[in-house]
Amino acid sequence: MIITTQLELERDFTQAEKSIARYILSTGDEVLHLSARQLAERSYTSSASVVRLCHKLGIKGYNEFKIVYAGELESKLHIEGTVDVNYPFTDKDSADHVARAMAKMDSEVIQETRKLFEPAYMERIADVLDNAPCICVTGVGNALLCGLTFAHNMTRIGKTIISRELAGEHIFIANGLPKGCVTLALSYSGETEETLRTVKAIKDRHLPVVAITSIGDNQLSRLADYTIRIASRELLNDKIAPFASFTGMKYTTDVLYALIFQRHYNDFVKVKKDFDDKTESRIMAR
């Protein structure tokens, strides 16, 4: 998991570690010019707390933290001319500027996500989903919305999909999934508690899981049998809306649907056309 995400999550942080994390996030690259003692003073903590926080981030010490964090910040800065996915517009922008910024942001997120795909790996995952007797879709919030769009498309070509819209119901689904069912789990952070509980229950039953999540190590990616990464410039909390993560996940599920559809192209075109014709006939008859 990238450092920024870990700092935002504050998982198992003490109060002192939370203070340090929030100071780092609020000051950006300023921390790169501070010693451990100076960071401790400015966050009203101690040098020992700074070191302990580094250890919780999976980093040996503060100097190594600065090197890793600097690389992370630099990778974001070097995507020149990009839209800030967390605040793509301001209160002073014109309607046209907002519209262009949103279009540019979606395009950038899609291109960044596409570059993370390994074609052969994506084909393999498409095969796993296509050959499964059913697909369970699980997630929370906007991640689930992307999953439900995928589920809707798959249902219309005759695939069996299992999912629920109500919070808390996914864990019950996990305990009743039929043999061979594959789960598609979506979580940008990879640390969403409800999704992790569901996936752990599914793994206890030795059923395969495909994860769609952000770049870096997280609990979901460690649990999953297959992991697809999406563009990860979006912060967890400091943003207008989950524009970028939604776009990245939606694009990824669209690609998976397209790869599955492609395998049975002529058959699925006929199935979908017949379905649409029947649906439209019913609507016209009303």
**DSSP percent split of the chain into helix, strand, coil, nearest 5:** 60, 10, 30
Q: What distance in Å separates the CA atoms of residue 72 and residue 1, rounded to the nearest whole number?
A: 11
What distances in angstroms separate CA 227 from CA 22, 78, 109, 185, 208, one per listed residue? 29, 26, 18, 9, 11
pLDDT per residue as tens digits for the range 267-284: 999 888 887 777 766 655
Domain with CATH 3.40.50.10490 in the chain: 108-278
Count of CB atoms within 10 A of residue 196's CB? 17
pLDDT per residue as tens digits for the range 136-173: 999 999 999 999 999 999 998 999 999 988 777 888 88
Q: Are 69 and 54 in contact (CB under 8 A)?
A: no
Q: What distance in Å separates the CA atoms of residue 169 and residue 137, rounded to the nearest whole number?
A: 12
Q: Residue 186: pLDDT band by 50, 70, 90 thresholds?
A: very high
Amino acid, res. 50 = V
- What pLDDT sits at residue 165? 83
- What pLDDT sits at residue 276? 76
Query: Quick one: fold of 108-278?
Result: Rossmann fold (3.40.50)
- What pLDDT sits at residue 250? 97
Work out the angle between the directed axes of helices 119-131 and 243-263 (0-180°, nearest 10): 70
- What pLDDT sits at residue 286? 58
**CA quadruple 252, 184, 148, 155: dihedral sign:** positive
Domain with CATH 1.10.10.10 in the chain: 3-77
The architecture that CATH gives domain 3-77 is Orthogonal Bundle (1.10)
Tokens linked to 217: 């190590």
pTM score: 0.77
Q: Is 180 helix (H, G, I), strand (E, B) or coil?
A: coil
Tell me the mean pLDDT in the region 99-128. 94
